[in-house]
Structure 1
């Protein structure tokens, strides 16, 4: 804040008779310039914060320019907080690499644990096999196991056994493939015959019981033959003919059995023919037809 001294003639108080010395202005001296008012030593030390105060000679010329106050020193900028440091890209990359490394370590640990468990289980299994192989098996159990193995082998063998069917109308003979003692395993029963589905050696057999109440001395024929779609016609595999099988007018019976080993091809079909259907006894234990593979 600055205080200025005015001229005696121009001041309202000078015109009204007031003593101009009250303001420190001398009427006779019009050449005085602005003089600084002395300040205490403490205020001189704080000049950088507050401007100096000048008294202006009121008698001086109004056109005289005032001496400007020295510039005020600006306040120092605030000190940044060094506790919070910005994270740069390098720190971020380092943190990401650390997390990725930890994940890899966890995965490797899991794989190692699984391998250890598998190795432990394999070791226990080997010990169990060794203990069972060294233990003594009772003779009864060993015999039972052998019979079971043989039965499994028989069941796995391709075979068929057909029994006589009384519902006969024409040739070749019709058979029962399911009921009673009849079965098929790996062999198909189709169109009154057995169809081979794998080339190999087969034992083929057929049994027919002829029986009548009147002896006519006619020839009885029992034939097993095969067919194949690749070759025309039929081929006789086995044949039996019976003559002089009865005497007089009494009831009679004659059995005809055929059996042999043949090499059969895939898609071969085997059938049975007789000379007179009316003389055949179709009980399942007396008339049957079948085969099995070696």
Structure 2
């Protein structure tokens, strides 16, 4: 606040004393001062201008609210739902696409595995597990199963008995059929068996014998391995039949040749299920 010195306007009343027209909101209060000189016919007055606004003055108008931007309109609930449905549809589509690609990849891998297995079995290519792990399995040498089973041959006329090595149930594996006998090509422990069915139309007192023996070029002569002899095998003058079976375990040498003899060829039934001969290595 600043003091104001001046002369009061003539004719101004007390209410209007010290008020300026350009300051309607200010209140002027006169401050009396003592006289300075005797020859002055007036008393100077100092006016104190109060900078405070009149209590009854009108308050200043507030700033107007900002005008909303009309370029961006608020979205309605329908538009929001449409956007939500679109986003959900896109997510579901992406999920189904991923599942489809996974199934296709699995199917493709299974097909490749099957092709590799087929090629491995045909061309001895290492299996898929070996390719993945990088470990090479040692190849096991396939051992030949040494065995033979020969059946009766009705076309024979002399001893030892002649056999059928290939037809019907007969077979040979690692064992040779040579000179009416089974030739052993590898030494080892073998189970040897033979069965002969004797059958006649009339009973007589002949001796029935069934013998399995072996030969070897390194040893002269033959060695009987098994033998079966029978007497009084029938009664009266009727048809009869007798089965003779031999079987045992033997240690055979290389080049051993095994043969079968009977007492009477005419009494032998040469059906393959009734008369046979064989061996196999343990």
Q: Structure 1 length as normaliser, TM-score?
A: 0.49
Aligned to 1:193: 181
Partners of 2:131 and 2:241 lie apart in 1 by 66
RMSD: 2.5
- Structure 1 residue runs without a partner (length 5+): 1-121, 131-152
Aligned to 2:132: 128
Deviation at 1:129, TM superposition (A): 5.2
Q: Deviations over 1:200-221 (max 9, x none)?
A: 0000000000000000021100
Aligned to 2:148: 160
Mark the CA change 1:256 to 1:126 in structure 2 (over 3 Å): closer, same or farther.
closer
Partners of 1:253 and 1:168 lie apart in 2 by 21
Aligned residues: 152
Q: Deviations over 1:96-126 (max 9, x none)?
A: xxxxxxxxxxxxxxxxxxxxxxxxxx9x865
Between Structure 1 and Structure 2, the one with more helix by share is: 1
Partners of 1:126 and 1:190 lie apart in 2 by 45
Deviation at 1:168, TM superposition (A): 1.3
Aligned to 1:283: 271
Partners of 1:256 and 1:157 lie apart in 2 by 27
Q: Deviations over 1:70-102 (max 9, x none)?
A: xxxxxxxxxxxxxxxxxxxxxxxxxxxxxxxxx
The equivalences for 1:29-44 within 5 A come to none
The equivalences for 1:58-97 within 5 A come to none
Deviation at 1:243, TM superposition (A): 1.0
2:253 to 265, 270, 285: 265
Mark the CA change 1:288 to 1:129 in structure 2 (over 3 Å): closer, same or farther.
farther
Partners of 1:191 and 1:126 lie apart in 2 by 49
Partners of 1:168 and 1:126 lie apart in 2 by 56
Deviation at 1:156, TM superposition (A): 3.4
Mark the CA change 1:250 to 1:188 in structure 2 (over 3 Å): closer, same or farther.
same
Partners of 1:188 and 1:250 lie apart in 2 by 41
Q: Deviations over 1:158-180 (max 9, x none)?
A: 00000000011110000000000
Between Structure 1 and Structure 2, the one with more strand by share is: 2
**Partner secondary structure for residue 232 of structure 2:** coil
The equivalences for 1:162-241 within 5 A come to 162-241=150-229
Deviation at 1:188, TM superposition (A): 0.2
Partners of 2:146 and 2:262 lie apart in 1 by 26
Q: Structure 2 length as normaliser, TM-score?
A: 0.51
Partners of 2:245 and 2:131 lie apart in 1 by 56
Partners of 1:289 and 1:277 lie apart in 2 by 15
Partners of 2:158 and 2:254 lie apart in 1 by 27
Structure 1 segments of 4+ aligned residues over 2 angstroms from their partners: 124-130
- Structure 2 residue runs without a partner (length 5+): 1-125, 135-141
Partners of 2:211 and 2:131 lie apart in 1 by 61
Mark the CA change 1:282 to 1:126 in structure 2 (over 3 Å): closer, same or farther.
closer
